[in-house]
Amino acid sequence: MTDRPVALITGASRGIGLAVARRLAPTHDLLLGGRDADALSRATDLPNATPWPVELTDDRALADATAALSRLDLLVHSAGLAELGTLVGTTADTWRRTLELNVVAVAELTRLTLPLLRAANGHVVLVNSGAGLRANPGWGAYAASKFALRAYADVLRAEEPGLRVTSIHPGRVDTDMQRGIRAQEAGDYEPDRYLTADSVAKAVLAAVEADEDAHVTEVVLRPRPR
């Protein structure tokens, strides 16, 4: 690590998280968070990148991993899961898995790193979803988690005025996660109709690089018809 600002990105082994890491690499030292240590190792071709393998829903492992940090300027929450289904077909286990990763792990990681973020007058970016603004049939558990994540960001922003807190709400994005979603929907995968992960990463970068007098609180991205 150098004297450059330090960014911790969850879900950094692929998709939006990896795209964000690539956009931040020229200006930040990177901690690449994810549960798959092998996948993270393959992403360390980025300059000044260090794998940060941890199971985010394991409270003890998360506490141990964050205790080793000495500086944090930027925290990007990109990890998440989406399990679709009607409300009547969504089991308690699905609700728990979804909320544990999409909400509880976000809250706990932020809580554990708040002293470092406060010291840096830092920035928290939460990669949310269009489902955090509008809930559709079949998306109950996921949308509920993303509405909760939006509320969490709003409260964090109000309670921690020294921090910048940004919610990013993209529409469908060309990622492995989207492939899984389309498989659950039994629909065709049409990447030309989706945002690229890099488009979302550029929105994150714009929020991070905003002038000191500017606080980008919410960004909504939708694919342009093509």
Task: Tell me the two tokens of residue 3.
Answer: 């004297």
Catalytic residue from among 142, 152, 189, 194: 142
Distances in Å between the Cα of 92 and the Cα atoms of 84, 87, 88, 97, 142 are 13, 10, 11, 9, 13
Distances in Å between the Cα of 204 and the Cα atoms of 21, 68, 76, 125, 165 are 10, 26, 9, 7, 11
Whether the CB-CB separation of 19 and 200 falls below 8 Å is answered with yes
Q: How many degrees, rounded to 5, is the angle at CA 55 between CA 120 and CA 59? A: 75
Which residue in the block uniquely carries the two structure tokens 């000191």? 212
Asked if 189 is an active-site residue, the reply is no
CB atoms within 10 A of CB 88: 6
Residues known to be catalytic: 142
